Amino acid sequence: MNPIEVNLFSSRVSSICNEMGLVLRRAAFSPNIKDRLDFSCALFGAKGELLAQADHMPVHLGSMAFAMSTIVDSVDWKKEDVLVFNDPFLGGTHLPDVTLVSPVFEENGENIGFVANRAHHANIGCDTPGSMPVSSSLEDEGIVIPPTFLMRDGKIQTQINSVFTTPSGELGGDFAAQAGANQIGVLGLKALVGKLGSLQYIQNTRELNNFAERISLKMISELSPGTYFFEDCLDDDGYGNQNIKLSVRLSIDFSAIEVDFSDSADMITGNLNCPNSVAAAAALYCFRCLMPSYAPVCEGLFRRIKMKTRRGSIVDATRPAAVAAGNVETSSRLVDIVFGALAQAAPLRIAAASQGTMNNISMGQLYSPGQPRWDYYETIAGGMGGGPNYPGLDGIQTHMTNTLNTPVESLEMHYPLRIKRYELRLDSGGEGDHKGGDGVIREYEFLRKTTVSLLTERRASRPWGLHGAGAGRAGINVLNGRALPAKSVITAEKGDRLAINTPGGGGWNYWSKEEEA
């Protein structure tokens, strides 16, 4: 294939993922999916190798790619199957992220690949509204779904848990939207293979992965060879553990990179633990940022990047560790340390630390007489780190989350809430030749008694600047004028106000080897 043909094929398979995402967004009911876009769609080869993904959530897609081969090999697939799972230790991330996988068969019965999507559900059976509690074990976080057939040969499985189905036996709204998105992906991939022919399609996928590998090799060749270290600490886990170490050793030669997180802390009581698939997603994302925008996101792009973790550590946790915040908070801080190491290998290409947290807030009310249960969850924007030729952006979701904010109108329409303030947190970005971006202030007024859970980071530590530039301001959570712990569960009464002040990004200063000397 010539370069034009490779690019056209890459666009074709990526467009299938984009169409899946459009269908999922349009058909979903919850603000988490239709407004915040907390979902991801991807295509995989017959052995579970990543073929294409839409520009959705990095933490979803990198972790799916890391785990799909295990899922694929463990199942006897049939046409029109839909497999569902959320188990973090069997290919998931955390329990609210529910994944649906569907095989794609040719007319002759040959399996040619898989389509998958992963979406965040605010209610996954947890006793805490929003299903993002301050937890100490996996069972505290909701229903664990091992790989299970949601549909077998096109038929909904009657024994499937009521979480997925309505009383009439039909799929519930958001799960039906996910299944519909997969159906669109199956039809799209079958049409592409039918047009090209299976032999040409397989050849094209091979060419696409080889092309991606060449792009990866070029990126590696532009980094200074050597071994680089970086450490940082998570603030706390809500159970008394503080300054929890995250560590990376980055080994770069001319043709490969090893990312070693082995020296990170042991598993902890709280839910900042994460499975190794999430750690892999964070590392792969960082290197993807150093590649050109046209690079196809497929298995070949990451062949030269090897991962190393230590079983039983905070970044390679084992059952029954709590993991709700590992997917969101620990992953964000792993990005920080990988970029911190890369700043030594490519100092004129790496930005300062962004806010380093997703500022998770979940809320709602369990069933009570005359009041139906409601659940809501969102992440809140903050400051982006300043970079080599740009200041950091203000009030933006960065790195491992790629979601939008929920519009105030949608939030107030669906839930007993009122947004009293939503504004930039001025001067929260770090000073420097290129200033860090400012965080935001989002203040909620509760119109009804509400249970609220907060899982936030960078409340004690600050997002670092580069080359002597200033750090961003730490975040702070305030209820009725009183500061709250970074991880906390509260009961807000009617009329209470909760203000989330998010961190700013670090600043960036000009730098040269002569200046360092």
C-alpha to C-alpha distances, 43 to 49, 53, 54, 140, 292, nearest whole angstrom:
9, 6, 9, 32, 21
Residue 190: pLDDT above 50? yes
- According to DSSP, the β-strands at 417-425 and 50-53 are unpaired
pLDDT exceeds cutoff 70 at 170: no
Quick check: 370 pLDDT over 80? no
Q: In the prediction, which pLDDT does 259 show? A: 98
User: Which are the contacts of 8, defined by CB distance < 8 A and separation ≥ 6?
Assistant: none
pLDDT over 80 at 57, yes or no: no
Question: What is the β-pairing status of strands 497-501 and 476-479?
Answer: antiparallel
159 or 82: which leads in pLDDT: 82
pLDDT of res. 139: 93
Mean pLDDT of 392-398: 96
Q: Mean pLDDT of all residues in the chain?
A: 92
Give the mean model confidence (pLDDT) for residues 164-179.
76
DSSP per position, 281-339: HHHHHHHHTTS-TT---SGGGGTTEEEE--TTBTTS--TT---TTIIIIIHHHHHHHHH
- pLDDT reported for residue 168: 56
Q: What band does 171 get if pLDDT is binned at 50, 70 and 90?
A: low
What was the pLDDT predicted at 206? 96
- Distances in whole angstroms, Cα of residue 282 to Cα of each of 334, 450, 476, 497: 6, 33, 25, 34
Identify the weakest region by mean pLDDT among 41-55, 67-81, 274-288: 67-81
pTM of the shown model? 0.93
pLDDT digits (tens, 9 = 90+) for 234-263: 999 999 999 999 999 999 998 999 999 999
pLDDT tens digits, one per residue of 426-441: 999 999 999 999 999 9
Kindly indicate the confidence band of residue 122, based on its pLDDT and cuts at 50, 70 and 90. confident
The one-character DSSP state at 326 is I
More confident residue, 114 or 61: 114
Dump pLDDT digits (tens) for 310-363. 999 999 999 999 999 999 999 999 999 999 999 999 999 999 999 999 999 999
Residue 60's H or E segment, with its range, is: helix 58-73
Indicate the range of 61-75, 80-94, 257-271, 352-366 predicted with least confidence: 61-75
Strands 476-479 and 482-484, bridge-based pairing: antiparallel
Task: Please state the rounded mean pLDDT for residues 169-181.
Answer: 83
The rounded Cα 331 to chain-centroid distance in angstroms is 8
The span from the CA of 114 to the CA of 72, in Å, is 9
Alpha carbons 273 and 287: distance in angstroms, whole number: 23
pLDDT tens digits for range 456-515: 999 999 999 999 999 999 999 999 999 999 999 999 999 999 999 999 999 999 865 444
Contact 376, 364 (CB under 8 A): yes
